[in-house]
Amino acid sequence: MIVSNEKGTTDQAKEILEKYDREARYRSFRGFMAKIVAAIAITFSVFQIYTAAFGVLDAMIQRSIHLAFGSCLIFLLYPTSKKWPRDRLHWFDLLLAIVAPLTTIYIVVNYKELVLRSGTVTRLDFVVGILGIVLVLEATRRIVGLPIVIVALCFILYALYGRYIPGIMAHRGVSLQRLVGHLFYTTEGIFGIPLGVSSTFVFLFILLGAFLERTGLGQLFIDIANALAGWATGGPAKVAVFSSGMMGMISGSSVANVVGTGTFTIPMMKKLGYKPEFAGAVEATASTGGQLMPPIMGAAAFLMAEFTGIAYSKIIISAAIPAALYYFGVWMGVHWEAKKLGLRGLSKEELPKMKKVLLERGHLLFPLVAIIYLLVTGFTPMKAALYAIVFSVASSLIRKSTRIKLSDVPAALEAGARGALSVVAATACAGIIIGVVTLTGIGLKLGTALVDLARGNLLITLFFTMLTSLVLGMGVPTTANYVITSTIAAPALLRLGVPVLAAHMFAFYFGIIADVTPPVALAAMAGAGVARANPMRTGLTASRLAIAAFLVPYAFVLSPQLLLVNVSNPIQVIWPLFTCALGLFSLSGALAAYLFGNLTVWERALYGIGGILLVEPSGFTDLIGLGLIAVAFLLQRARMRLAKNA
């Protein structure tokens, strides 16, 4: 009976993952074809490990081979149409699986000649380049989805026909031959920085996640979260927040995180008394926040270091305070909801013992501790990830119950390669966007247009940038999400003198939070699927719980000290951190209609407005915010005292 239930839960999770995450809609081969796919995937992982250990190849060659492996596997595993059978390979997909890697291997074979020609594109180069670009777009459509492909196509059309656009957005125009040469035969387009990051350390971090999964780290996170927070008011919801945040440090997908941890936490929340919509929203919000968590940040931290020129170690330290504020806001939203509903935590008998958990499986945390130490002490991300993979295998051997079997190693290598495919496709497609930006200067033009539309007002520009990032981030994986938002939205803020890190982080935050913002809200939709809840209500509830993500970016742009930018003494950080935290504390209660007790409409308004003013860091707004919260508190206390004496 138990086995049947477990199978039902697994089948439900797989169905939901396939519905909301295109990456999960792959073919399931058996027999000879399964062995072929496994061999290609394992070879892909071995190639990445080899170059990490013994030296990366020339940038163009490394990235070409990386894309060759990725495109071959995508066309083998992901059918042209969802109507096509998934238990066998269609001849058309086999053809593309052969042709696609050949277009990039063409660069490897003719590398010296291409360098000597220095931008001159022959007729054969042109045909191969056109074919390569089209196949990158098609591979991305299959595994990532249409949104990013449509954006890339719009940029291609802009490059070709931008001369006919009136006003500030016009440019001199680019010939098709020049565009193909720029996008396919230079490191400014498809083979640019995004794919470069994917072909070096991002792949290794995904591979690390595959090895850690086989050690049982995910269950360890859930058990630690249960031991720490399961007893508290509304315990299972707080467990979801805590465990999903920890899983987010090694996961690159909000949707996969929702389904992975949600199959455990959402039923617990519903059993305790939370409404299905709230249970799904909690898991979605917590899982989405995992993409904002250092040290990995869904691999965007590495791209941010490349794009901004800021040291990676500084970026992850700077990202810590905003991420903590995000989870504090979610935690308080969950707490007030549980208080309002009178939900208890789990009993001590139902909870794992922290000491026992750590003694039995605490050694599985060694790779995470090691990777943070290595990154902070100056090791390159690629070397840090490589050593962490070795540590993950070594640490699992300490106890028999966690030991990785010899047969698990090839399985992890295959899973790592499969897990990297969406990143390979998304970063290659994002390279098309970057290539058009560098060729036409559209990034600067868009920034100027946004600033002009806002008439130079910083707050209005921030608002327009927020909307732009939310739209651009809908349904796009984390790495590509950052590439697009930082390229299109961030330049507007840079024109107004916003610090580089704050501008990039602002665009990144709103691109990520699109996963819980209706109407798309993929993470919230997945959470609703697991919880069997209304999708739109789940999305709206998730947006409410994620209120910190809508306010904190404004706070760190207006007060960059929250990102530890231009800080000369601790007080510069402590005061804005205190006011932000107090503001989120008050605002989360106002949104839940409960803060130390049920709230009236006027009390909610005072707490809510006061909370927003405290999140906006300035002496004047802080004083008004504190005053409004104090008035709301006194009114509430007086009302509750009268009701008690009546």
- Is the pLDDT at 138 greater than 90, yes or no? yes
Contact 25, 142 (CB under 8 A): no
Within-domain flag for 494: no
Looking at residue 609, its pLDDT comes to: 95
Q: Quote the CA–CA distance of 584 and 563 in Å, as a whole number.
A: 18
- Residue-wise pLDDT for 70-125, tens only, equals 999 999 999 988 777 777 888 999 999 999 999 999 999 999 998 887 778 899 99
Structure tokens at 421: 């495919």
Q: What's the angle, vertex CA 184, arms to CA 178 and CA 186, rounded to 5?
A: 85
- C-alpha dihedral sign at 342, 345, 348, 350: positive
Helix pair angle (500-512, 478-488), 10° resolution: 130
Q: Quote the CA–CA distance of 498 and 492 in Å, as a whole number.
A: 9
- Residue-wise pLDDT for 473-526, tens only, equals 876 777 778 888 888 888 889 988 999 999 999 999 998 888 888 877 788 888
Q: Quote the CA–CA distance of 617 and 118 in Å, as a whole number.
A: 52
Contact 576, 559 (CB under 8 A): yes
- Residue-wise pLDDT for 472-488, tens only, equals 887 677 777 888 888 88
Tokens 């467990």 map to which residue? 239
594 strand-pairing partners: 598
Within-domain flag for 409: no
Within-domain flag for 251: no
Highest mean pLDDT among 140-154, 229-243, 593-607: 593-607
The whole domain housing 621 covers 568-646
Looking at residue 178, its pLDDT comes to: 92
Q: Quote the CA–CA distance of 512 and 292 in Å, as a whole number.
A: 8
Within-domain flag for 81: no
Please provide the average confidence, as pLDDT, over all residues in the chain: 85
Burial readout 234-246 (b: 16 or more C-beta within 10 A, e: otherwise): bbbbbbbbbbbbb
Q: Which of 403, 407, 371 is nearest to 389 (CA)?
A: 371
Contact 486, 307 (CB under 8 A): yes
- Is the pLDDT at 9 greater than 90, yes or no? no
Q: What is the mean pLDDT of residues 611-640?
A: 89
Structure tokens at 320: 């810590």
Within-domain flag for 596: yes
- Is the pLDDT at 365 greater than 70, yes or no? yes
Contact 261, 289 (CB under 8 A): no
- Residue-wise pLDDT for 393-417, tens only, equals 999 888 888 888 888 899 999 999 9
Structure tokens at 216: 């049982």
Share above pLDDT 90 across residues of the chain, in percent, rounded to a whole number: 33
Q: What is the mean pLDDT of residues 127-137?
A: 96
Residues ≥6 apart with Cβ < 8 Å to 435: 182, 183, 186, 188, 189, 190, 192
3-state secondary structure of 402: helix
Within-domain flag for 298: no
Q: Quote the CA–CA distance of 242 and 232 in Å, as a whole number.
A: 12
Is the pLDDT higher at 461 or at 272? 461
Looking at residue 3, its pLDDT comes to: 36
Looking at residue 128, its pLDDT comes to: 96
Within-domain flag for 80: no
Within-domain flag for 635: yes
Q: Quote the CA–CA distance of 140 and 33 in Å, as a whole number.
A: 23
pTM of the model: 0.82
Looking at residue 21, its pLDDT comes to: 60
Contact 315, 501 (CB under 8 A): yes
Structure tokens at 95: 């053809």
Q: How confident is the model at residue 385 (pLDDT cuts 50, 70, 90)?
A: confident
Q: Quote the CA–CA distance of 564 and 449 in Å, as a whole number.
A: 30
598 strand-pairing partners: 594
Structural domain count, the chain:
1
- Is the pLDDT at 545 greater than 70, yes or no? yes
